């Protein structure tokens, strides 16, 4: 198992210095790249106007707030988006890249490098952050698609009874197409989202003059005055206001696909202005016509445009859901590479786009969870109560990790003066969302708790199992010396033994000697290491050390966003004087069978869970891209 560590960092650079990496794209950013960015990065946050203001007005009505509270709520929406998305993510967090890549795990690796050591609490923080992200990945498709389909009730009388079935149909179809990849349709995502943001901006601008008082919302004092004037009564409203920034994590997580420049340009030039106009327009319309508070977004549209807007909103929510699902696949793959989860089957669905992957088991779990949420809650209004907790928790974790990086690595006291107040604001939003626990907020917390339990159990169990195996093993150097002094029958060819501990003799080697009583002419003890950098340069991929006349240790290094390909990596050994003919090479793997019995390493429930997870791991042959007709597996039974 590989752990998050500072391995792989450039030894010539002090971790106290900021690491700036050029964007992977030309300085002159093409318009096509910015449009594509709209479809992948901003799908989730771009559909927030469907429900954010509506849910805030619902809570304001429940607490009998005055009509002018609309101005305060819109002001909260605007300044929340400005502070958290524009200031925190676009201006600051995008600078904390890990060799051009972003996301919670990248920030954890960056923070560990800043502290110069591995710490269990930082490791656990990353696990919790990833778990909350998976919770958000399950709620977003349900919430977004439900909100869009509910718009049909304004067009077709009596459609209310069809909302859930149609939503389920769209969700199942969305998850069904994942297996064949989305490369072809993804080209339409950007243009569709551009049309969505344009429609949103035009509709909002057309209603801003309904009541010019709404322009007061741009004054931050109106947001502060709303909170101060309503006290604890403002917390439920703030919980709904936070729905406006769901999806902001995608700015950082998807940075590696586009680079910082397109992400920033698309936000400042398209998304942020469109969101601002939409919220201002909805607020002005509600001030002028209070009866439109029931569904302010769709009621902004004239009657002839309602149906096209509903269809456009449905397409936008499907795109938002697709972006979240793709993100979940990427995060799960990173978690596997970093040893947080057992090996999962990873399929590459595109020959041209490196990030297009499909994880069947993750897909099934997400689809089952989304369908269960749609059936259980039945409406976006009820599901809104469950939406904010996972997002706020993930954002709080991101802020804490960013503060560590800024303070210890870059020594930016000025940035701390900005990040600490933002963290305080996010904690207030988290408190506001905690109030929703009994109304549905327990759902993401329960799911995140399950994922945390699985990850912690897997990490702990793998560590204990490896410790036991190491204690029962023989030093590889000793084995090599004895076989050199008294060699068995030597057969021609090359043997590759994959092992997690290159300093001890692999069980597959010992079993081969015990049962077959032969030794290959060349024997390579190979260890695959996953670094905290997204990708490892080809020149740093391989390291070889001689053990004896017929034995060598090989370390293969991969980034946490790379799929290990052992045969291809071993081909690089030619520079060290070693050639690998795949048809003359045998790959020996140790297949362990775990039994929960006496001498357990963990409590009974944890041992059973770990054994179950171990059995679900995908075949190492496929995971490491080994030729199936050259693999030899030797069994071993272990009590845990």
The pLDDT tens digits for 307-331 are 999 999 999 998 888 888 888 888 8
The domain that contains 354 carries what CATH number? 1.20.1740
- 399 and 512, same domain (yes or no): no
Q: Distance between CA atoms of 329 and 363, rounded to whole angstroms?
A: 8
Burial tier of 2 (Cβ tally within 10 Å: 0-12, 13-18, 19+): buried
Q: Return the ∠ at Cα 177 (arms to 245 and 179), rounded to 5°.
A: 105
- 404 and 310, same domain (yes or no): yes
Q: What is the pLDDT of residue 385?
A: 74
Residue 405 lies inside a defined structural domain of this protein: yes
What average pLDDT does this structure show over 333-348? 85
**Helix, strand, or coil (residue 558):** strand
**Helix, strand, or coil (residue 488):** coil
Give the pLDDT confidence of 440-466 residue by residue, as tens digits.
888 888 888 999 999 999 999 998 888
Structure tokens at 368: 């089952």
Residues paired with 635 in a beta bridge:
591
Residue that finishes a domain, picked among 428, 443, 458: 443
Q: Distance between CA atoms of 126 and 129, rounded to whole angstroms?
A: 5
Q: Distance between CA atoms of 109 and 107, rounded to whole angstroms?
A: 5
Please say if the pLDDT value at position 13 is more than 70.
no
* Number of domains observed in the structure of the chain: 2
Q: What is the pLDDT of residue 355?
A: 58
Question: Which single residue is written with the structure tokens 């068995």?
Answer: 488
- 386 and 339, same domain (yes or no): yes
What average pLDDT does this structure show over 349-365? 76
- Measuring CA to CA, which residue among 151, 179, 170 is closest to residue 371? 170
Q: Output DSSP code: residue 475.
A: B
Question: Which single residue is written with the structure tokens 């149909």?
Answer: 169
- 333 and 196, same domain (yes or no): yes
The DSSP secondary structure of 495-528, one letter per residue, reads EEEE-S-TTB--HHHHHHHHHT-EEEEEEEEEEE
N-to-C CA span, the chain? 17
Task: Give the residue with greater pLDDT, 185 vs 592.
Answer: 592
**Helix, strand, or coil (residue 638):** strand
Q: Distance between CA atoms of 293 and 296, rounded to whole angstroms?
A: 5
**Helix, strand, or coil (residue 601):** coil
Q: What is the pLDDT of residue 184?
A: 61
Dihedral sign for Cα atoms in the order 451, 45, 35, 98: negative
Task: Give the residue with greater pLDDT, 205 vs 349.
Answer: 205
Q: What is the pLDDT of residue 284?
A: 96
- 437 and 491, same domain (yes or no): no
Give the helix/strand (H/E) hosting 492.
strand 489-498
Q: Distance between CA atoms of 369 and 138, rounded to whole angstroms?
A: 6
Residues paired with 546 in a beta bridge:
552
| pLDDT, averaged across the chain | 85
Residue 1 lies inside a defined structural domain of this protein: no
Q: Are 37 and 262 in contact (CB under 8 A)?
A: yes
Q: What is the pLDDT of residue 353?
A: 56
Q: Output DSSP code: residue 619.
A: P
Q: Distance between CA atoms of 626 and 511, rounded to whole angstroms?
A: 20
Rounded percentage of the chain residues whose pLDDT exceeds 70: 92
Residue that finishes a domain, picked among 399, 427, 443: 443
Rounded percentage of the chain residues whose pLDDT exceeds 90: 40
Please say if the pLDDT value at position 206 is more than 80.
yes
Give the pLDDT confidence of 509-560 residue by residue, as tens digits.
998 898 888 999 999 999 999 887 778 888 899 999 999 999 999 999 998 8
Q: Are 204 and 279 in contact (CB under 8 A)?
A: yes
Residue 177 lies inside a defined structural domain of this protein: yes
- 92 and 204, same domain (yes or no): yes
- 419 and 545, same domain (yes or no): no
Q: What is the pLDDT of residue 132?
A: 86
Task: Give the residue with greater pLDDT, 292 vs 40.
Answer: 292
- 401 and 328, same domain (yes or no): yes
Cβ-based neighbours of 450, under 8 Å, separated by 6 or more: none
Burial tier of 63 (Cβ tally within 10 Å: 0-12, 13-18, 19+): middle
Cβ-based neighbours of 273, under 8 Å, separated by 6 or more: 201
Task: Give the residue with greater pLDDT, 9 vs 553.
Answer: 553
Residue 204 lies inside a defined structural domain of this protein: yes
Structure tokens at 366: 């997400």
Q: What is the pLDDT of residue 143?
A: 87
Please say if the pLDDT value at position 620 is more than 70.
yes
- 438 and 488, same domain (yes or no): no
> Would strands 347-348 and 357-358 be described as parallel, antiparallel, or unpaired?
antiparallel
Q: What is the pLDDT of residue 11?
A: 31
Q: Distance between CA atoms of 581 and 319, rounded to whole angstroms?
A: 45
Buried b (16+ CB within 10 A) or exposed e, 294-305: ebbbbbbbeeee
Q: Are 320 and 144 in contact (CB under 8 A)?
A: yes
Q: What is the pLDDT of residue 635?
A: 75
Residues paired with 592 in a beta bridge:
636
What average pLDDT does this structure show over 101-121? 78
413-421: long-range contacts at Cβ-Cβ below 8 A with a sequence spacing of 24 or more?
415/92, 418/87, 418/92, 419/88, 419/92
Residues paired with 519 in a beta bridge:
490
Residues paired with 542 in a beta bridge:
556
The residue range of the domain holding 382 is 34-443
Q: Distance between CA atoms of 140 and 380, rounded to whole angstroms?
A: 10
Structure tokens at 367: 């689809």
- 338 and 487, same domain (yes or no): no
Q: What is the pLDDT of residue 491?
A: 92
Give the pLDDT confidence of 259-305 residue by residue, as tens digits.
788 889 999 999 999 999 999 999 999 999 999 998 999 999 999 99
The DSSP secondary structure of 401-433, one letter per residue, reads HHHHIIIIII--HHHHHHHHHHHHHHHHHHHHH
Q: Are 38 and 190 in contact (CB under 8 A)?
A: yes
Residue 428 lies inside a defined structural domain of this protein: yes
Cβ-based neighbours of 460, under 8 Å, separated by 6 or more: 602, 606
Phi-psi region for residue 179, left (φ > 0), alpha (ψ -120 to 50) or beta? alpha
Instruction: Report CA dihedral (595, 597, 601, 602) to the nearest 10 degrees.
Output: 100
Q: What is the pLDDT of residue 179?
A: 82
> Would strands 347-348 and 542-548 be described as parallel, antiparallel, or unpaired?
unpaired
Residue 157 lies inside a defined structural domain of this protein: yes
Q: Distance between CA atoms of 500 and 504, rounded to whole angstroms?
A: 9
At 406, the pLDDT band (50, 70, 90 cuts) reads: confident
Give the max Cα distance, the chain: 94
Helix intervals (H) in 338-412: 360-377, 380-404
- 297 and 338, same domain (yes or no): yes
Please say if the pLDDT value at position 107 is more than 80.
yes
Cβ-based neighbours of 112, under 8 Å, separated by 6 or more: 4, 5, 6, 118, 119, 122, 532
- 136 and 76, same domain (yes or no): yes
Q: What is the pLDDT of residue 351?
A: 59
Q: Are 572 and 541 in contact (CB under 8 A)?
A: yes
Q: Distance between CA atoms of 497 and 483, rounded to whole angstroms?
A: 16
Residues paired with 525 in a beta bridge:
497, 553
Residue 547 lies inside a defined structural domain of this protein: yes
Cβ-based neighbours of 128, under 8 Å, separated by 6 or more: 393, 397, 448, 452
Give the pLDDT confidence of 242-251 residue by residue, as tens digits.
889 988 887 7
Please say if the pLDDT value at position 123 is more than 70.
yes
Residue 389 lies inside a defined structural domain of this protein: yes
Q: Distance between CA atoms of 246 and 250, rounded to whole angstroms?
A: 9
């Amino acid at each position: 198992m590989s752990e998050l560590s500072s391995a792989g960092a450039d030894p010539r650079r002090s971790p106290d210095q900021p690491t700036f990496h050029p964007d992977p794209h030309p300085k002159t950013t093409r318009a096509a790249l910015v449009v594509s960015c709209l479809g992948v990065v901003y799908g989730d946050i771009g559909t927030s106007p469907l429900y954010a203001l509506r849910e805030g007005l619902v809570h304001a009505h429940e607490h009998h707030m005055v009509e002018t509270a609309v101005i305060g709520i819109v002001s909260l929406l605007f300044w929340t988006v400005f502070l958290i998305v524009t200031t925190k993510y676009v201006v600051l967090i995008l600078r904390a890249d890990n060799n051009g890549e972003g996301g919670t795990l990248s920030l954890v690796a960056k923070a560990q490098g800043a502290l110069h050591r591995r710490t269990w609490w930082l490791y656990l923080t990353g696990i919790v952050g990833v778990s909350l992200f998976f919770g958000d990945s399950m709620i977003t498709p349900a919430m977004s698609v439900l909100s869009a389909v509910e718009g049909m009730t304004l067009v077709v009388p009596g459609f209310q009874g069809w909302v859930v079935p149609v939503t389920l149909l769209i969700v199942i179809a969305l998850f069904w197409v994942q297996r064949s990849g989305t490369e072809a349709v993804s080209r339409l995502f950007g243009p569709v989202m551009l049309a969505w943001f344009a429609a949103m901006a035009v509709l909002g601008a057309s209603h801003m003059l309904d009541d010019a008082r709404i322009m007061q919302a741009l004054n931050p004092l109106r947001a502060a005055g709303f909170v101060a004037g309503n006290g604890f009564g403002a917390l439920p409203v703030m919980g709904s206001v936070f729905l406006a920034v769901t999806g902001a994590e995608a700015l950082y997580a998807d940075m590696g696909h586009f680079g910082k420049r397109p992400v920033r340009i698309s936000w400042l030039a398209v998304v942020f202005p469109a969101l601002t106009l939409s919220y201002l327009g909805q607020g002005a319309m509600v001030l002028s016509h209070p009866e439109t508070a029931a569904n302010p977004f769709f009621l902004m549209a004239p009657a002839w445009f309602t149906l096209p807007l509903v269809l456009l909103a449905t397409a936008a929510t499907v795109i938002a859901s697709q972006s979240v699902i793709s993100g979940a696949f990427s995060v799960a793959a990173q978690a596997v590479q970093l040893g947080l989860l057992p090996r999962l089957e990873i399929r590459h669905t595109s020959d041209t786009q490196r990030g297009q992957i499909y994880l069947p088991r993750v897909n099934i779990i997400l689809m089952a969870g989304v369908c269960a949420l749609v059936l259980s809650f039945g409406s976006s209004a009820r599901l809104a109560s469950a939406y904010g907790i996972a997002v706020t928790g993930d954002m709080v974790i991101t802020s804490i990790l960013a503060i560590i990086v800024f303070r210890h690595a870059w020594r930016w006291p000025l940035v701390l003066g900005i990040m600490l107040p933002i963290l305080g604001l996010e904690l207030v939003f988290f408190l506001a969302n905690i109030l929703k626990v009994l109304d549905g907020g327990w759902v993401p917390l329960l799911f995140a708790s399950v994922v945390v339990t699985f990850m912690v159990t897997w990490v702990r169990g793998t560590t204990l199992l490896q410790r036991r195996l190491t204690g029962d093993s023989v030093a590889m150097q000793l084995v090599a010396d004895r076989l050199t002094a008294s060699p068995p029958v030597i057969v021609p060819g090359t043997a590759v033994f994959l092992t997690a501990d290159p300093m001890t003799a692999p069980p597959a080697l010992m079993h081969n000697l015990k049962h077959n009583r032969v030794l290959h002419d060349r024997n390579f003890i190979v260890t695959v290491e996953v670094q905290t950098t997204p990708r490892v340069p080809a020149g740093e991929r391989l390291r070889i050390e001689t053990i004896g006349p017929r034995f060598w240790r090989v370390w293969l290094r991969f980034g946490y966003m790379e799929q290990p390909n052992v045969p291809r990596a071993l081909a690089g050994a030619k520079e060290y004087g070693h050639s690998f003919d795949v048809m003359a090479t045998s790959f020996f793997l140790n297949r362990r069978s775990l039994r929960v019995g006496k001498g357990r390493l963990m409590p009974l429930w944890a041992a059973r869970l770990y054994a179950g997870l171990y059995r679900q791991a995908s075949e190492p042959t496929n995971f490491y891209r080994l030729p199936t007709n050259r693999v030899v597996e030797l069994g071993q039974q272990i009590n845990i």
